[in-house]
Amino acid sequence: MKRILIIALAFIFLQHSNAGIIKVVTTTTDMKSIAEMIGGSKVSVTSIATGYQNPHFVDPKPSYIIRLSGADLFITTGLDLETGWSPQLLTSSRNSKIQKGSQGYVDASEGISLLQVPSSVNRAAGDIHIFGNPHYWLDPLNGKVIARNIANGLERIDPSNKTFYEANLQTFFARINTKMKEWQAKMSPFKGSKIIAYHNEWVYFEKRFGLEIVDFMEPKPGIPPSPSQLVKVIREVQANKIQVIISSPYFTTSSSAVVAKQTGAKQLTMATSVGAFNSIKNYFDLFDYDIDQLIAMLK
């Protein structure tokens, strides 16, 4: 009897201690990491996609809908990144607090200077970047825009803690500024290095750190490498003496391996999101990892 009472009291305590915690659901782990840094002790954050999953293609599961139905804040990368799965999950959750246009809906892409915005929207060719390149979190300075949007969302639904969120936001900005100097210094000897990428998801990273991506293994974003594309890439690698072909954890390496074998270029799997590899615990680790891996290959 005594034991039952203790368990019951512990349960009530746990429920109570969880009260007031804002439940945040993000589409990706990068948004989760930034939301945790801004929300601190006031939030509990979960991400639908893992860091080693292709964010364009996530299989919707009933458990995601349940999670969304209890969320206070929803954060999406936006654009065309999660179009195939996230809007459907959101509708199915029937949670009016987090629907598009509601207080608890955050589109993290708001205010991002988008790259590669097409002049006309055409999904017919299989292109999955119809609103511009959606992989913008791979520029650390865009991390600041994301953080600002997340702070705005938290302050909308929890205005009494505005000072707390603003302070965390300033800490985040300062940390980005410090790390940015370190990352730029590491990358500066490799300015202008030419590389090949599997999917067109590195343009923000490329621009920020002065790389030159000559071509992609995919002939169009979302379209698997074709034999003619492989021939084209092999010629480009040879003509430009390209050393590295970068890919992501969720793509098969077989086509890149063909190019590598033909040309002597090396393959490198980079991380596109937090959690892509065990050592990448947060948004800062992501760039530490990618930059260290890349410069080791370019040396």
Window 191-220: contact mask with Zn ion (x via CB under 5 A): ----------x-------------------
Cα dihedral across residues 202, 203, 208, 210: positive or negative: positive
Measured from the CB of residue 107, what is the shortest distance to Zn ion in angstroms?
17
Contact letters (x/-) for Zn ion, 269-298, by CB under 5 A? ------------------------------
Site string for Zn ion, 155-194 (x = CB under 5 A): ----------------------------------------
Q: What is the 3-state secondary structure (H, E, C) of the chain?
A: CHHHHHHHHHHHHHHHHHCCCEEEEECCHHHHHHHHHHHHHHEEEEECCCCCCCCCCCCCCHHHHHHHHCCCEEEECCCCCCCCCHHHHHHHHCCHHHCCCCCCEEECCCCCCCCCCCCCCCCCCCCCCECECCCHHHCHHHHHHHHHHHHHHHHHHCHHHHHHHHHHHHHHHHHHHHHHHHHHHHHHHHCCCEEEECCCCCHHHHHHHCCEEEEECCCECCECCCHHHHHHHHHHHHHHCCCEEEECCCCCCHHHHHHHHHHCCEEEECCCCCCCCCCCCCHHHHHHHHHHHHHHHHC
- Site residues (CB under 5 A) for Zn ion, limited to 82-121: none
Nearer CB in complex with Zn ion: 221/275: 221
CB of 69 to Zn ion, least distance (A): 28
Site string (225-264) toward Zn ion, x via CB under 5 A:
----------------------------------------
Best CA proximity match to 287, nearest among 176, 146, 192? 176
Which C-beta is closer to Zn ion: that of 104 or that of 221?
221
Q: Is the dihedral of CA 13, 75, 249, 136 positive or negative?
A: negative
CB of 74 or CB of 250, closer to Zn ion: 250
Q: How far is the CB of 61 from Zn ion (least distance, A)?
A: 22
Between 95 and 247, CB nearer to Zn ion: 247
Q: Least distance to Zn ion from the beta carbon of 103, Å?
A: 29
User: Measured from the CB atom, is 39 or 51 closer to Zn ion?
Assistant: 51
- Between 133 and 263, name the residue whose CB sits nearer to Zn ion: 133
Q: 85 or 165: whose CB is closer to Zn ion?
A: 85
Task: Please work out the total of residues on this chain that contact Zn ion, with binding judged by CB under 5 A.
Answer: 2
Tell me how far, at minimum, the Cβ of 215 lies from Zn ion, in Å. 15
Find the shortest distance in angstroms from Cβ 201 to Zn ion. 5
Footprint of Zn ion on this chain (CB under 5 A)? 201, 221
